[in-house]
Amino acid sequence: MKFEKFPLSSQIIENLEQIGYFRTTYIQFKTIPAILNGEDVLAIAQTGTGKTAAFAIPIVNKIHESKTNKAARAPGCLVMVPTRELAQQIGKVFSQISKHTFAKSFAIYGGVGQEEQINQLQAGVDVLIATPGRMFDLLSQGHLETKYVRTLVLDEADHMLDLGFIEDIKRVKRVLARHQTLFFSATINPTIKKLAYSQIRSNALRIQVSPENLVSKNISHSIIKVPMDDKRHLLVNFLNSNPESKVMVFVRTQVRADRVLAHLSKNSIEAVNLHGGMAQEDREKSLATFRNHSHGVLIATDVSARGIDLPGVTHVINYDLPDDPENYVHRVGRTGRGFAKGDALSFCSPEEREKLEQIQEFLQTEIDQIQIDDTFLKEIPPSKDLQNMSVAEMLAMEEAYFGIEDKKSKKRKKRNKS
């Protein structure tokens, strides 16, 4: 369905066309009318289906049509998100949709100074996108007022509730007048769903897009069984075989991310890191570097598994299988977004067999296994100036790496034995 079929302002329609939105996705088609009507919504849909626009479009439209071009005293809409990167991304979406409208949006998050954020809040904001930590800091300091909030959004709601923010969410809701609550996520388990239901009105719209597979049909995903110590060699060989690809590599820990980055650098492969142990400035720099290039490698922990929209990602590699099976869905969802196609590979060591079983049980399907040649598990020979190598050295290197012997090599070995 075309967006112009909805009762949206002409300026918002124009903004949507400028950013390439012409027709609704299914989740947008189902939720936009309900949000415009002030209903509570609990929406569960696959990654890459346009959930952010599904709530941003009607929120901006309601603000634009209900006010004059005057800054609000305090936010009328609060969007709570689990990570800094997601706050930045959602803030950008709101800015694009609200261009030349009366709706003013702003994102606050930790890792950066408060002064600019405080100044913006004092100037007036209609839509505030916030991570809980920074939001409660500014609330306690008296720089933020939430009693005028009429729409509360939890994006990646299952993760927010699972992280233990339910009491904080209840605390916010207690000080609000009658308000609209919107929960959006890609996955949700029965326990978290029960918590979510407790925070919305009984007549709320509950929509769960439940395709046959939790992983988008745009994504081809498979596993490669490999010894733990050989994962680094497999990754290097894969990246060397796909030099024009844009690849996200997910690892289990921050230390692991740094080690993989160092190994790629040792093998002359440029890559950037993204994890919670990095300074916010460095995190933003890594994201910008990866986002602004047509190809490259980003090594990340699960801080980037949810919600982050990085255009053009051709491959996702689970260097380590996730501890939480749901994160598998979120990770592989960084590729194959919208109408694009994508590939996801998981490196599974014998130690991770139980995690693989849990993922397959969660997906209710067996993931295809790819058989690879052992040459992909061999270490790349150390770099050496080939011009200064003798023919014998080059043949020896070739044999060591590829495990092959040509006729001259066999004759040479036979001659040496005699």
77 Cβ neighbours under 8 A, 6+ residues apart: 59, 63, 126, 127, 128, 149, 150, 151, 152, 153
The structure tokens listed for 185 are 């996520």
Contact present, 80 and 153 (Cβ < 8 Å): yes
Closest CA to 81 of 139, 9, 137, 157: 157
SS3 126: coil
Contact present, 24 and 165 (Cβ < 8 Å): no
pLDDT for the residue 208? 78
Torsion on CA atoms 313, 156, 288, 319, rounded to nearest 10: -50
The Cβ of residue 277 has, within 10 Å, a number of other Cβ atoms equal to: 14
Contact present, 35 and 180 (Cβ < 8 Å): yes
Closest CA to 35 of 188, 182, 152: 182
Q: How far apart are CA 182 and CA 27, in angstroms?
A: 13
User: Residue 380 class from Cβ within 10 Å (0-12 exposed, 13-18 middle, 19+ buried)?
Assistant: middle
Q: Please report where in the chains the tokens 């002409």 appear, as a residue.
A: 10
Q: How far apart are CA 222 and CA 371, in angstroms?
A: 10
pLDDT tens, residue by residue, 37-78: 999 999 888 777 889 999 999 999 999 998 765 656 789 999
pLDDT for the residue 401? 41
Q: How far apart are CA 55 and CA 18, in angstroms?
A: 18
The per-residue DSSP string of 252-300 comes to SSHHHHHHHHHHHHHTT---EEE-TTS-HHHHHHHHHHHHTSSSEEEEE
Is 3.40.50.1370 the CATH number for 219-377?
no
pLDDT for the residue 402? 41
Q: How far apart are CA 36 and CA 9, in angstroms?
A: 12
Q: Please report where in the chains the tokens 């369905």 appear, as a residue.
A: 1
The Cβ of residue 415 has, within 10 Å, a number of other Cβ atoms equal to: 8
Q: List the domain boundaries for the chain.
A: 3-208, 219-377, 386-417
Q: How far apart are CA 120 and CA 131, in angstroms?
A: 16
Q: What is the 3-state secondary structure (H, E, C) of 154-195?
A: EECHHHHHHCCCHHHHHHHHHCCCCCEEEEEECCCCHHHHHH
pLDDT for the residue 171? 79
pLDDT for the residue 378? 77
3-208 and 219-377 share one fold: yes
Q: How far apart are CA 385 and CA 372, in angstroms?
A: 30
Contact present, 316 and 342 (Cβ < 8 Å): yes
The structure tokens listed for 136 are 């409660």
67 DSSP 8-state letter: -
The Cβ of residue 399 has, within 10 Å, a number of other Cβ atoms equal to: 14
The count of residues in the chain is: 418
Q: How far apart are CA 308 and CA 297, in angstroms?
A: 15
How many whole angstroms from its chain centre is CA 326? 13
CATH architecture label of 3-208: 3-Layer(aba) Sandwich (3.40)
pLDDT for the residue 405? 43
Q: Which helix (H) or strand (E) holds 212?
A: none
Residues of the chain with pLDDT under 70: 68-72, 163, 210-213, 307, 380-418
Torsion on CA atoms 332, 159, 285, 337, rounded to nearest 10: 30
pLDDT for the residue 71? 54
Q: How far apart are CA 47 and CA 186, in angstroms?
A: 6
59 Cβ neighbours under 8 A, 6+ residues apart: 35, 77, 94, 103, 127, 151, 153
The Cβ of residue 381 has, within 10 Å, a number of other Cβ atoms equal to: 11
The structure tokens listed for 229 are 């110590």
